[in-house]
Structure 1
Amino acid sequence: MLQLICFHHSFKELKFSSLYYSWKSLLMSLMGDPADENLETKEMDARSLSFSHGQEPYVHKVGIPPRQNLFKEFQSTVKETLFADDPLRSFKDQSKSRKLVLGIEAIFPIIGWGRTYNLTKLRGDLIAGLTIASLCIPQDIGYAKLANLDPQYGLYSSFIPPLIYAVMGSSRDIAIGPVAVVSLLLGTLLQSEIDPIANPVDYRRLAFTATFFAGITQATLGILRLGFLIDFLSHAAIVGFMGGAAITITLQQLKGFLGIEMFTKKTDVISVIHSVLSSAHHGWNWQTIVIGASFLAFLLYAKYIGKKNPKFFWVPAIAPLISVILSTLFVFLIRADKHGVAIVKHIDKGLNPSSVKEIYFTGDYLGKGFRIGIVAGMIALTEATAIGRTFASMKDYQLDGNKEMVALGAMNVVGSMTSCYVATGSFSRSAVNFMSGCETAVSNIVMSVVVFLTLQFLTPLFKYTPNVILATIIISAVINLVDYKAAILIWKIDKFDFVACMGAFFGVVFASVEIGLLIAVSISFAKILLQVTRPRTAILGKIPRTTVYRNIQQYPEATRVPGVLIIRVDSAIYFSNSNYVKER
């Protein structure tokens, strides 16, 4: 923190007055090094005597650091930027065999914490895994439809990726699988390139290609230790983007909720409302609406119970699966599908087929898959990082962000080769995982095993599951992403952040997901540039009976030193802001 001191009178007038002692105490508090206080005090006393006898003021020259050659200077800069935490410190002074073991543990953390695993932890992970499995199965089927893919691809994405993450990830609480926001983003970007109905094969291949490059992007950021790049997307922009995406996802579910067959492919609110109203006379199915409204009320009430009493966290967790079972039985018994209620019809049985040969490594779709993959991978990474940091702070353990990126990237690369689309940490499932008492990433393995059993034996049971129940499950899952309390808090704290929040929100709602994301990133960068080129300044005053100086606007009791202007600049001085600071 740079302190600028501007004097409004001559040094010759600075004798043994109260002003001198105030100035001296100020310098002492700014330097903050007790070891040099006596020396500095003696120097100032000596110089003040020379001032009183009319001599020229003494100018203390700042020492020049020793010169470094270009290579060493570049090396130190890179080390400070990318390796400030010294990631290889645990390898120092170790034998070769020990270094090998540490290297393997760094790549596969499960080897380290697996040594202390016991039955007590297994009990907690087993309960948590079964709980999140009951939540993820109906969600995965719905999210796959959100990405314009067949239902089984959502289940595939909750089988292989969680296993990879459990071996390589460092978070104990993240539950891995498809998520609503990424599914919507991926579906929107993919269908702008290929029609999923007219050309489902190429659409699916492009989805796998985008997933592959999403994983490559995530792993590269982790290996090169460039994870700080995702921090450029501010919290305010993320709040607005997530809220807008939740509104957009909810509007998209009106197709299934109202039983509409012909629906717009656009995601903006005006196009969706126009499509809904234009089909009101002949496109709505009242049986579908009754089923959807009934189960939506049930899901929201279950969520209310879980929020009101944390002991009943399992109620909203199993409510989606109960809804699927009851609605499927209801449709099957009364054959509601004969009366216009759309059903899932068919989900392929069996485990993930290989999709290595379906990824585009050449041709026109390679570049499109690369571009879509980078966007989807960054959003997935941002969501997973936010979740991981939140729960790590709540349980007071350290989360290695770069290892997380490598783990997420590896699971998506492997997933793209096993018929999965982009997976990441889920807000709703991770919260349930945490509340269920998970101890380690084994809860992801338990969930994966349940999904495996579902794919092997239970998929035919979903034949009569109504599409409307999937729509209600998605609506109830994303409704909490509209964090209006956070938006109100942002408004109170920083109006510019609120502009970023609302810009991202309205961009998603009234334009498209990619436009909202572009606005969020643009405003976040604009704020960073504004803070660097126009740093905040504060006038400091002395706290009575102390040697501490603080902002006089925040501390009314702080008094300004007569004849001295003490300014704090809340930024480093660069060529881009030097003129502003001078004029200020």
Structure 2
Amino acid sequence: MGNADFMNGESTHRAAVPPPQPFLKSLQNAVKETLFPDDPLRQFKNQPPGRKLILGLQYLFPILEWGPRYSLDFFKSDLVSGITIASLAIPQGISYAKLANLPPILGLYSSFVPPLVYAIMGSSRDLAVGTVAVASLLTASMLGREVNAAENPALYLHLAFTATFFAGVFEAALGIVRLGFIVDFLSHATIVGFMAGAATVVCLQQLKAVLGLDHFTHETDVVSVMRSVFSQTHQWRWESAVLGGCFLFYLLLARYFSKRKPWLFWISAMAPLTTVILGSLLVFLTHAEKHGVEVIGHLKKGLNPPSIMDLAFGSPFLSTAIKTGIVTGVIALAEGIAVGRSFAMFKNYNIDGNKEMIAFGMMNIVGSCTSCYLTTGPFSRSAVNFNAGCKTAVSNIVMAFAVMLTLLFLTPLFHYTPIVVLASIIIAAMLGLIDYEAAIHLWKVDKFDFFVCVSAYVGVVFGSVEIGLVIAVALSLLRVLLFIARPRTLALGNIPDTNIYRNVDQYPDTRNVPGLLILEIDAPIYFANSSYLRERLSRWIDEEEDKLKSSGDSNLQFLILDMSAVGNVDTSGISMLQEVKKNIDRRGLKLALANPGAEVMKKLNKAKFIEAIGQEWIFLTVGEAVGACNSWLHTYKPKPATDHETEKWSNNV
């Protein structure tokens, strides 16, 4: 190129081709970056065997890491937190078990064993383990289609244990093989809409208890529920409705005061247990159970009986249990990890998502063998744990022992607990999941995310929980695919008095460079977008040439592609670039590349594309590419008398 390498006495830097790397080494690095981005084995390097064993045990069981440093001051805080969340876990556990069409005692069983497992294996200090409403609703919805819980309670119970087992296996497997990124496909917008829709459905389902109805639809969509409610107006029981309304008002009032005054968090935390006590006393003293107010009835005393022999591996409904386990497991993971990361951010520590998956998986596997159904880290309980000042996972151990004492000695006290009180507790908890402020924020920031959120909500409320989830995930994936298949190509211009080139739409005061078309490709180039990019680049060139002709400016001479955002390119992308090169050659133009990455350079070099365009036309920055192109025009192209603009520009580079 001769003098084109030098402008104003300064050399132009060239993008270098990285040294060749063996295929197996490249594959190893790619797998490591995909599955082990956090490099969990780095702490084992250069350690003696004994130390590696200790570090390995601490990695699997984090309690061995922080346990030796545990202090009495920590225990005081964890004791208060544990007792506080136990007061919430007991009524919520009973309520959510009823929501899942399971015996209420299972809610207490599920608040005893799983928290102990998580305290040993979990890495979050703030997560409070227990059952959740959405997973309970999913269990009832998916299993209830195949087996009626009222007609065949034993089979339904066994399928629930089996679904919990497979949920645990699936969660643990994701963590072991480091596939936690799969959960990331549930975007924030998806979760907001899905949770709000599920909360709405759960609230509607509680109308059965609030109105004292004996028969109710097994469907979850709003149309079926409303039809079931208003077709039985003659069976509505005002006693039950008044009782439920009063307790719901009390729960919402307690939450209101707790939000206004954060130091009064204990009022909201104790409110569910208070409603259970007051409701039970009211029914006991007035004999309201004889006047249409349904009560829980007998709860047997004693700790969790083993259920490993109840796992229905030979059942004809095994596929339903597996599907239920996988769906509920994914939802539980998404909620638990999101909650854990949120509170970890407040306290400035990190949690390992894959370790959390293993912990969730193990606690559900153990839980399925000890008469528990699906558990995770619910937001409401974890928020109470956080606000109560917990220091470590010992708060889960304290909660578990409080539940253990309840199972051993206090279960007869729940005999007169009204079902409508449990419904009020569920409704109050679910209203907190309808985050309309987040939806408004999505509308302001990103309309497509808002559309995903609303689609998930509508799918859940008017279809089913599964339909809503599928719609939301499908739309999120569609957005990713659209971003890949239709990447943006941006025209760049020069910011005056600088050597910086930016999007002309974002910076209207940028100046076009005479004779040059500078485009930025805003995504990797793959088979999915190569055809689109070829056509889009050709259209950019046509439009630029037409604009120059109509304005009488100098002809287009160069196409500069800014490859800064092109992280990778496949063979289809290379073929596209070769076709673009042929197209601009036919037009009498030249092609220059700016800042292609190492992976892109390696593949272009192997495909001999660099040889085709010339190493001298590949630059580190757009500014250097523009300088070289203008120097070439100034040195080698004959200048018309009217072409003073290009010469002036070249002298300023």
Do the structures match in fold with TM over 0.5? yes
Distance 1:61 1:479 in 2: 57
In structure 2, do the counterparts of structure 1 residues 335 and 170 end up closer, same or farther at CA, with 3 Å as the change threshold?
A: same
Q: Report what 1:154 is aligned to.
A: 107
The 8 Å contact of residues 142 and 320 in structure 2, kept in 1 or not, is answered as no
In structure 2, do the counterparts of structure 1 residues 133 and 548 end up closer, same or farther at CA, with 3 Å as the change threshold?
A: farther
- Compute the displacement of 1:530 (Å): 0.9
Distance 1:124 1:296 in 2: 30
Q: Which has the larger displacement, 493-502 or 463-472?
A: 493-502
Q: 1:36-115 residue pairs with structure 2 within 5 A?
A: 41-43=10-12, 63=17, 65-69=19-23, 71-115=24-68
- Compute the displacement of 1:65 (Å): 3.9
Q: Which has the larger displacement, 238-247 or 85-94?
A: 85-94
For residues 456-479 of structure 1, give each alpha carbon's deviation from its aligned partner in whole angstroms, at most 9, with x where no partner exists: 111100111110000000000010
**Structure 2 letter corresponding to 1:276:** V
Distance 2:346 2:15 in 1: 49
Q: Do residues 119 (structure 1) and 84 (structure 2) align?
A: no
Distance 2:510 2:12 in 1: 28
Candidates 431, 455, 466, aligned match of 2:407: 455
In structure 2, do the counterparts of structure 1 residues 153 and 61 end up closer, same or farther at CA, with 3 Å as the change threshold?
A: closer
Candidates 446, 464, 480, aligned match of 1:528: 480
Q: Report what 2:152 is aligned to.
A: 199
- Compute the displacement of 1:61 (Å): 8.2
Distance 2:369 2:498 in 1: 66
Q: Do residues 572 (structure 1) and 524 (structure 2) align?
A: yes
Q: Do residues 436 (structure 1) and 383 (structure 2) align?
A: no
- Compute the displacement of 1:562 (Å): 4.5
For residues 332-362 of structure 1, give each alpha carbon's deviation from its aligned partner in whole angstroms, at most 9, with x where no partner exists: 0011111111111111211000000000223
- Compute the displacement of 1:14 (Å): 8.8
- Compute the displacement of 1:210 (Å): 0.4
Q: Report what 2:267 is aligned to.
A: 315
For residues 385-409 of structure 1, give each alpha carbon's deviation from its aligned partner in whole angstroms, at most 9, with x where no partner exists: 1101111111110110110000000
Q: Report what 2:431 is aligned to.
A: 479
Distance 2:264 2:507 in 1: 46
**Structure 1 letter corresponding to 2:245:** A
**Structure 1 letter corresponding to 2:180:** G
Q: Do residues 387 (structure 1) and 356 (structure 2) align?
A: no
**Structure 2 letter corresponding to 1:123:** K
SS in 2 for 1:262: coil
- Compute the displacement of 1:110 (Å): 0.4
The 8 Å contact of residues 91 and 273 in structure 2, kept in 1 or not, is answered as yes
- Compute the displacement of 1:503 (Å): 1.2
The 8 Å contact of residues 5 and 12 in structure 2, kept in 1 or not, is answered as no
Q: Report what 2:577 is aligned to.
A: none
- Compute the displacement of 1:542 (Å): 4.0
SS in 1 for 2:149: coil
Q: Report what 2:142 is aligned to.
A: 189
Q: Report what 2:171 is aligned to.
A: 218
SS in 2 for 1:102: helix
Distance 1:564 1:209 in 2: 66
Larger gyration radius, structure 1 or structure 2: 2
Q: Report what 1:265 is aligned to.
A: 218
Distance 1:439 1:462 in 2: 31
Q: Report what 2:249 is aligned to.
A: 297
Candidates 407, 430, 441, aligned match of 1:489: 441
Identity of aligned residues (%): 56
- Compute the displacement of 1:545 (Å): 4.8
Distance 2:139 2:511 in 1: 57
For residues 239-292 of structure 1, give each alpha carbon's deviation from its aligned partner in whole angstroms, at most 9, with x where no partner exists: 1110100000000000011111111111000010011111112x1111111111
In structure 2, do the counterparts of structure 1 residues 566 and 277 end up closer, same or farther at CA, with 3 Å as the change threshold?
A: same
Distance 1:436 1:545 in 2: 58
In structure 2, do the counterparts of structure 1 residues 495 and 159 end up closer, same or farther at CA, with 3 Å as the change threshold?
A: same
**Structure 1 letter corresponding to 2:69:** T
Candidates 133, 139, 143, aligned match of 2:86: 133
The 8 Å contact of residues 138 and 328 in structure 2, kept in 1 or not, is answered as yes
Q: Which has the larger displacement, 290-299 or 530-539?
A: 530-539
Distance 1:316 1:43 in 2: 67
For residues 435-486 of structure 1, give each alpha carbon's deviation from its aligned partner in whole angstroms, at most 9, with x where no partner exists: 1111111111111111111111111001111100000000000101111111
Distance 2:57 2:351 in 1: 18
Candidates 173, 176, 190, aligned match of 1:237: 190
- Root-mean-square deviation over aligned CA pairs: 2.0
- Compute the displacement of 1:544 (Å): 4.6
Q: Report what 2:629 is aligned to.
A: none
Distance 2:300 2:200 in 1: 31
The 8 Å contact of residues 124 and 344 in structure 2, kept in 1 or not, is answered as yes
- Compute the displacement of 1:491 (Å): 1.8
The 8 Å contact of residues 197 and 457 in structure 2, kept in 1 or not, is answered as yes
Q: Report what 2:181 is aligned to.
A: 228
For residues 40-77 of structure 1, give each alpha carbon's deviation from its aligned partner in whole angstroms, at most 9, with x where no partner exists: x4147xxxxxxxxxxxxxxx7853641524x3333222
Candidates 246, 268, 276, aligned match of 1:324: 276
Structure 2 residues without counterparts, runs of 5 or longer? 537-653
Instruction: Give aligned pairs, total.
Output: 536
TM-score (norm 1): 0.88
Distance 1:246 1:563 in 2: 60
Distance 1:105 1:583 in 2: 56
**Structure 2 letter corresponding to 1:89:** R
TM-score (norm 2): 0.79
- Compute the displacement of 1:121 (Å): 1.0
Q: 1:25-40 residue pairs with structure 2 within 5 A?
A: none
Q: Report what 1:246 is aligned to.
A: 199
- Compute the displacement of 1:232 (Å): 1.0
In structure 2, do the counterparts of structure 1 residues 111 and 62 end up closer, same or farther at CA, with 3 Å as the change threshold?
A: closer
SS in 2 for 1:580: helix
